[in-house]
Structure 1
Amino acid sequence: MTDRVRPNPENPWYWSDGDGPTLLLGGTDRDNLFQWTGERLEAHLDDLVDAGGNFVRNTMSDRKDGDVSPFARHDDGTYDLERWNDEYWDRLDAFLAATAERDIVVELTLWDQHDLVGDRWESHAWNPVNNDTLPEGSLPETGGDHWRDRIAFFRTVEEGNDPVLAHQERFVDRVLDHTFDHGHVLYNVTNEGWAGIEWELHWAEHVLDRADERGVGVEVANMNMTPEDSVEKVVEHPDAFSYVEVSQHNQLSAGATGQDHWDNLQAWRGEVEDAVGPRPFNNVKIYGGFDGGKEAAGTADQAVRWFWRNVLGGCAACRFHRRVAEGDEGWGIGGSERALTQIRSVRAIEEVVDLTALPPRGDLLGDAAPDEAYCAADPGEAYVVYVPDGGNATLDLDAGSYRRRTLDAESAAWTDDETVEGDTDLPLDPPERPNQVVVLTAET
């Protein structure tokens, strides 16, 4: 990657690395990919790239079997927060090099409260009982096993807990020291943040201040448990948050399905455009259960539909969330073959149209029931319509001759190809199979 990723100057709904607007797509089996090493990491990235993927998530987590901590340990097993564990940082460097080599954009999350929940807190380096660095009582027990009950670590900013905050900042500074030289990294300060705007602004401004000291430009977002909050904070704090992370709208427990999923996204885009101008919308997590997955995540079929509505709805980045692996709970379809096939399907469409040049145009659809069809178009030039499950929708097509093709997103294969004449109520007539995409391009 030759340039630092940033909103495209001509079309700031999308990202650019210097070569024009680009659509970021991904699907991986792990959130903290940097903890994988060697052939395992490289093979997973290669599978993604082979499918046309160019986007991954990386949390700075160390909560799973085989993960290593950023901090060194004494012989008695206690951690020393003032000494680094080189292996953790070597893994981060290897991950950054591997993704840069493959032109993969990384959305890097600094803090994830799920790292410090329940029994994870009992053994974590940040817990004062497990290190010889933090003063006794600096992170008092708050009781309960749910992450909302374990709040002391995430209240250091508002409570002026300087002893702990100094070490938190030291850790983040070390992350930034390793990542600032890599232009393919986007920053997200929180995962499903609930600690409040003081915490989120502190870390966003901290990253931006450090970047300014280094003379580099970086892009920062926050991700709240409810997507509306993420949108609101971008509107209220546009200098701190330069893109919108709305992942939580792609699941059952916090988001929406069907037509509401599309309509919510369009409303948020309008709100952001009116308040601060166009900005990229990222979905670093598209949920949807795999075998053994979480009911709250939704189904695999819903994951595919969330993905396509986001792509045609004007989102800049879409990644399928992790699937069941290594005994982990399943929240998505990750880097499965089905997920990779959806990415291949988008790239096949991009061979005939520029999706970043086609804004959402649901108004061009006629006779469409809710959740029957979704459209992006440059009228008179190109139209792309996603049809989740058949139907009788029509398209308000400008006069002229068009080549109409249909792509089966479940096989990434074109199934129909014909010339049609412009008609204000052109029947789409998709095959009666799930997840069909009708593409019309003007004949020249």
Structure 2
Amino acid sequence: MRIRFLMTFLLPWLTGGLLAQPLQLHPANPHYFSYKGKPTVLITSGEHYGSVLNLDFDFITYLNTLQKDGLNLTRTFTGAYREAPGDFGIEHNTMAPEAGRYSCPWPRSEQNGYALGGNKFDLSRWDEAYFKRLKTFVSAAEQRGIIVELALFCPFYEEKMWTISPMNAANNINSVGKVGRNEVYTLDKNGGLLAVQEALVRKMVTELNGFDNVLFEICNEPYFGGVQMNWQHHIADILVETEKNLSNKHLITQNIANGSAKIEKPHPAVSVFNFHYATPPKTVPLNYGLNKVIGDNETGFRGIADSTYRKEGWEFLLAGGGLYNNLDYSFTTVAPDGTYKPGAKSPGGGSPALRRQLGYLKAFMENLDFIRMQPDSVLLSGSLPARVRVHALSEAGKQYALYVYNGNHPKERQSLNLTLTLPAGRYKLTFVEPETGQKNRRKLRHPGGSTTLITPAFGADLAITLTK
């Protein structure tokens, strides 16, 4: 009876609580994650980062929608940076709360004078209501199997964005932040803000240490606004130092560039290197040798067509990436369920249909033993039509996955001949339509060497698995 009691009541507690680890790099293949003991890729089409800082945003409805769509990631900002209505032409921007609906880590003071109305902020104290909302959000995400990437800081793209920041001396009572917007994230010209930033990092890390579904991103798009690399490394050091004596150790992410770049001299504590608008995914092979996760954690600003962002996500993951996040402007304060239809002038898209298509991508990856796979540059031989790209992952001789990107936007569905080099054996073939999730299955008996695979007719893209 005693053993049965231990197994029934204590083991779930131990495995689900005390012994549970936060999201980690997978020990067998650190290009991917491990979460709750399972190999994991992070894929989403998420709201524009205002889940916590905008009091009008119903994040429970939002998280329920992500869970329903089979997605497992969201990205949010701390509130140290915010936007104003109309910025970037974004409709009902969650990063731009209405008057009196802005929540950030610091409370209001008794002194009037904030740029957007109300009292100034006191950077020497914490707004406990904000942290309660933050932890409620992270907890709700955790219950739904959703990882939260928390971007600690963000540069100020335009002067008007700096004029509404609590860190600007005009908006706080602490006589700090009398600097230009390009000096905020520096070690030597910050006007007393470094101590404020260090305190914020320590507070965030301490408050969220008990959660297993958190990633800490140093700074969103630091390649804008004068953000120094030594400042970024200093923040990484603060993250590590703060967690040194805490129970959990969380992954640190760093945003490297728009598009692609070769990472030089990475900080050893950074485990995820994120890029924005990373299509085609050249940055994955450039940095694959780091043996860390390569992510595309923001894309958008290329119109409202679903296919644009579906294809970017499928390409990135099948090139060897481990994280993908599209900016989804169908999530707004007026439609937290993701049913808002962005207008033609919106910088990006997002829709229930796109999220379903990214859900098919997540399911496709989870049907692979992807931890044993790596990018394969020799599987495919022969020439391809112009504007057609093929990416492949493989566990040589056992399992193969390919993604065919057709940039020709064909009006009629067409088949394609793919020349593959495979070991001898019998293979199960599955062709997947990324737009609809429909599958076409075949079998292949192959004597070994080169073979021509004739695909079913398809439109903009096609995914293929071969399992021996």
Calculate the TM-score normalised by the size of structure 1: 0.82
AA partner of residue 463 (structure 2): V
Match of 2:218 in 1: 189
Quick one: which of 133, 142, 147 aligns to 2:174?
133
Match of 2:13 in 1: none
Aligned equivalent of 1:151, options 161, 176, 182: 182
Query: What is the Cα deviation at residue 80 of structure 1?
Result: 1.6
User: Which amino acid in structure 1 is aligned with residue 251 of structure 2?
Assistant: E
Q: 2:236 aligns with which of 204, 207, 214?
A: 204
Counterparts in 2 of 1:215 and 1:395: CA distance versus 1, 3 Å = same
**Deviation larger for 63-72 or 180-189:** 63-72
- 1:393 aligns to what? 418
1:417 aligns with 2:441: yes
In the alignment, is the contact (CA less than 8 A) between 1:243 and 1:282 conserved in 2?
yes
Partner of 1:295: none
For residues 251-270 of structure 1, the aligned pairs below 5 Å read 257=279, 261-270=280-289
**In 2, distance between residues paired with 1:380 and 1:172?**
47
Structure with the bigger percentage of strand: 2
Of 298, 302, 312, 1:285 maps to 298
- Cα 1:184–1:305 change in 2 (3 A) is same
1:51 is aligned, of 50, 63, 69, to 69
Cα 1:46/1:37, change in 2 over 3 Å: farther
Letter in 2 for 1:198: N
Q: Is the 8 A contact 1:358 1:377 kept in 2?
A: yes
Q: Determine the C-alpha separation between the residues in 1 that align with 2:371 and 2:357.
A: 17
Please give the per-residue CA displacement for 1:147-190, whole angstroms capped at 9, x wherever unaligned. Answer: xxx212122x13374x3222222222221222111121111101
Aligned-residue Cα RMSD (Å) equals 2.6
Deviation at 1:96?
0.9
The question of whether the paired residues in 2 share the 8 Å contact of 1:189 and 1:221 is answered with yes
Aligned-pair distance for 1:364? Answer: 0.8
Rate the CA distance shift 1:98–1:37 in 2: closer, same or farther, 3 A.
farther
Kept in 2: contact 1:403–1:441 (CA 8 A): yes
Q: Is 1:321 matched up with 2:327?
A: yes
Partner of 1:248: 276
For the Cα contact (< 8 Å) 1:42–1:98, is it kept in 2?
A: yes
SS in 2 for 1:239: coil
SS in 1 for 2:125: strand
- C-alpha separation between the residues in 1 aligned to 2:38 and 2:182? 43
Deviation of 1:16 (Å):
0.7
Alpha-carbon distance between aligned partners in 2 of 1:197 and 1:320, rounded to the nearest angstrom: 26
Closer, same or farther in 2 for the Cα pair 1:215/1:249, shift >3 Å? same
Amino acid at match of 1:5: L
Please show how residues 41-440 of structure 1 align to structure 2 within 5 Å.
41-61=59-79, 62-63=82-83, 64-65=96-97, 66-75=101-110, 76=112, 77-114=119-156, 117-135=158-176, 138-140=177-179, 142=180, 150-155=181-186, 157-159=187-189, 161=191, 163-194=192-223, 195-226=227-258, 231-233=262-264, 236-245=265-274, 247-250=275-278, 257=279, 261-270=280-289, 272=290, 278-287=291-300, 289-291=302-304, 300-323=306-329, 330-334=346-350, 336-350=351-365, 352-369=367-384, 371-389=388-406, 391-414=416-439, 416-422=440-446, 424-440=450-466
User: 1:302 aligns to what SS in structure 2?
Assistant: helix
Give the secondary-structure state (helix, strand or coil) at the position aligned to 1:193: coil
Which residue identity lines up with residue 343 of structure 1 in the other structure? L
User: Which structure 1 segments of 5+ residues have no match?
Assistant: 143-149, 251-256, 273-277, 292-298
Aligned-partner residue type, residue 268 of structure 1: N
Confirm or deny: 8 A CA contact 1:392 1:429 kept in the other structure: yes
Letter in 2 for 1:32: G
| Contact 2:53/2:77 (<8 A) preserved | no
Q: Structure 1 residue 307: deviation in Å?
A: 0.9
Give the match for residue 3 of structure 1.
21
Query: How far 1:124 sits from its partner (Å)?
Result: 2.3
Give the distance between the partners of 2:331 and 2:71, measured in 1 at CA: 20
Which protein has the bigger helix share?
1
Instruction: Tell me the CA shift for residue 93 of structure 1.
Output: 1.0
- Give the counterpart letter for 2:131 in structure 1: W
Bigger Cα displacement from structure 2, 372-381 vs 193-202: 372-381
The residue identity in structure 2 corresponding to 1:212 is K
SS of residue matched to 2:238: helix
Distance 2:54 2:122 in 1: 24
Question: Matches of 2:61 and 2:138 in 1, distance apart?
Answer: 15
Matched positions, count: 401
The TM-score, its normalising length taken from structure 2, stands at: 0.78
**Alpha-carbon distance, 1:204 to partner:** 0.5
1:263 Cα deviation (Å)?
4.1
CA contact (8 A) 2:256 2:273 kept: no
Asked whether the equivalents of residues 13 and 281 of structure 1 are also in contact (C-alpha less than 8 Å), the reply is yes
